[in-house]
A and B are shown apart, each in its own frame.
Chain A
Amino acid sequence: MKSREADANRIDEFTRVQELVYELKIEQVMTTDVLVVTPDTHMAELMDIFRLNRISGCPVLKAGQLVGIVSLEDLIKAIARGEIESLVQDNMTSPVITVSAHESVIEAVKRFSQFRVGRLPVIDSQKRLIGILTSGDITRGLLKAIQVDYHTEEISKYRASHIFEDITSDKTSLILRYKVSARDFDHGGEASSKIKRALERLGGQPQVVRRVAIATYEAEMNIVIHTDNGGEIIAEIQPEQIRILAIDYGPGIPDIDMAMKPGYSTASELIRELGFGAGMGLFNIYRCADNMNLQSETGQGTRLEVLFSTGVHERTD
């Protein structure tokens, strides 16, 4: 179970990254603390600014307006020409390639690729400089977003999914029991809902979980609809198999064969008005199950056992 899940998780992560590149906005990943210089800054001063702050480029602002961008490469060229006393305005690149704060990260990715720049100044709708973005910022932003996703998911999943691996025994099963009250339509379906959630937490395959949920719901509603005293739903969960038991001491099923036929129902008029009593319950269970065992005695009660194989085989080590 573990290695298949790990592969699935890796694929999920990968497509999640792609999703995030489109979902995340530049303003969510950019650096807002931007170091800037003016056009009349000396290149020698720029050298110190770069060195002390460990940056390799910065935007050039004149009277608050973005007029150019100057990089380490520009500095090196100036030094090579012996022009370290020249001004930024003689060495900067203009016009500047920028991105807008509310664009999605994918636009920045495209621009980095297209223009081979090291950084992109970020502007707002009034073309004012409000941040700066490097590809490092994008990577950090993505990793953080994935980590947050992962963290929340992992917490819920980890708690439950490792139970079968962490606990050593010859056979481990998790048993969940729920009381079902007769004619309690307000809470009808709660047991199946909780069992479904438990199976999802345990890392169950969605298709199997769905079948278990449907069958359990029908079994649960049968107890709600047809008994006077209610009954119990028991889910026995093992790595290779899930067993659902629905037990009641109600009226029993007089004719099991008829009851299994779609469309046959013994529900009252009132029940039918609520949309129950379609006569599909047992048939739905039969279609969802890998194996089904129904025993009933009129006047004594009913015992329904439904088995689902998870497709995971028992490890024989």
Chain B
Amino acid sequence: MVTVADVVEQLELRVVTQTVSLETTVTGGYTSDLLSCVMAKAQAGNVWVTLQAHPNVVAVASLLELSCVIITEDTQVETSTIERAEKEGVPILSTPLGSYAMVEGLSGLGIHGNARAE
């Protein structure tokens, strides 16, 4: 059972939110920078890898009950995003890696994409 905390530790990610729990179990992963694609395909408990860092990322993650959002390319996370994430209880993690390399790392932990299209 991989949790968000395990992902942070194993892949050395920076935790951007302060008060949000990292104990959620990760069910799989999804990558896209287009929000509607995430709305259509990501499943509850997934990690979402994206370089988008604006507050709507939190809205999507919250609605879909994703386990966390990993923001790649060291993209600066807006304060409004962090505030919304703390409020909604969505962990925001950050990495200097690009999305491809990040996904490779996650895959190594056994976190895979959703096989079946919803």
A binds B: yes
Q: Known contacts being A186-B80, A274-B52, is A217 close to B37, with CB within 8 Å?
A: no
Q: Known contacts being A185-B54, A275-B33, is A284 close to B40, with CB within 8 Å?
A: yes
B24 within 8 A of A: no
Give the distance in Å from the alpha carbon of A276 to the alpha carbon of B54 in the complex: 11
Residue contact A275 to B34, C-beta cutoff 8 Å: yes
List chain A residues, Cβ under 8 A from B18. Answer: none
Q: Known contacts being A186-B55, A275-B50, is A192 close to B36, with CB within 8 Å?
A: no
Q: How far is the CB of B92 from chain A (nearest CB, A)?
A: 15
Q: How far is the CB of B59 from chain A (nearest CB, A)?
A: 3
A213 within 8 A of B: yes
Interface residues of B in 71-105 (CB under 8 A from A): 80, 84, 88
What is the interface of chain A mostly: helix, strand, loop, or mixed? Answer: helix
Interface residues of A in 198-224 (CB under 8 A from B): 210, 213-214, 217-218, 221
A281 within 8 A of B: yes
Q: Which of A190, A193, A275, A287 contacts B35 (CB 8 A)?
A: A275
Q: How far is the CB of B109 from chain A (nearest CB, A)?
A: 25
B10 within 8 A of A: no
A25 within 8 A of B: no
Cross-chain pair count, CB within 8 angstroms: 69
Most buried by B among A210, A217, A279: A217
Count of residues in B whose CB is under 8 Å from the partner chain = 22
B62 within 8 A of A: yes
Contact with A along B43-85 (1 / 0, CB 8 A): 0100000101011110110111000000000000000100010
Q: Known contacts being A275-B52, A278-B34, is A189 close to B60, with CB within 8 Å?
A: yes
List chain B residues, Cβ under 8 A from A279. Answer: 36
Q: How far is the CB of A201 from chain B (nearest CB, A)?
A: 16
Residue contact A188 to B56, C-beta cutoff 8 Å: yes
Contact with A along B25-41 (1 / 0, CB 8 A): 00000000111110110
Residue contact A274 to B56, C-beta cutoff 8 Å: yes
Q: How far is the CB of A92 from chain B (nearest CB, A)?
A: 45
Q: Which of A189, A193, A210, A276 contacts B36 (CB 8 A)?
A: A276
Nearest residue, chain A, Cβ from B33: A275
Contact with B along A261-295 (1 / 0, CB 8 A): 00000000000001111111101100100000000
Residue contact B63 to A188, C-beta cutoff 8 Å: no
Residue contact A214 to B63, C-beta cutoff 8 Å: yes
Give the distance in Å from the alpha carbon of A214 to the alpha carbon of B80 in the complex: 22
Q: Known contacts being A193-B63, A275-B50, is A214 close to B56, with CB within 8 Å?
A: no
20 pairs, A vs B, C-beta closer than 8 Å: A185-B54, A186-B80, A188-B59, A189-B60, A193-B62, A196-B63, A210-B44, A210-B64, A214-B40, A217-B59, A217-B60, A218-B36, A221-B35, A276-B34, A276-B36, A278-B37, A280-B36, A280-B37, A281-B36, A284-B40
4 smallest beta-carbon distances between A and B, as pairs? A189-B59, A280-B36, A278-B34, A278-B36
Q: A188-B56, A188-B59, A278-B35 are in contact. List 4 more A-B contacts (CB 8 A).
A: A192-B63, A213-B63, A214-B40, A284-B36
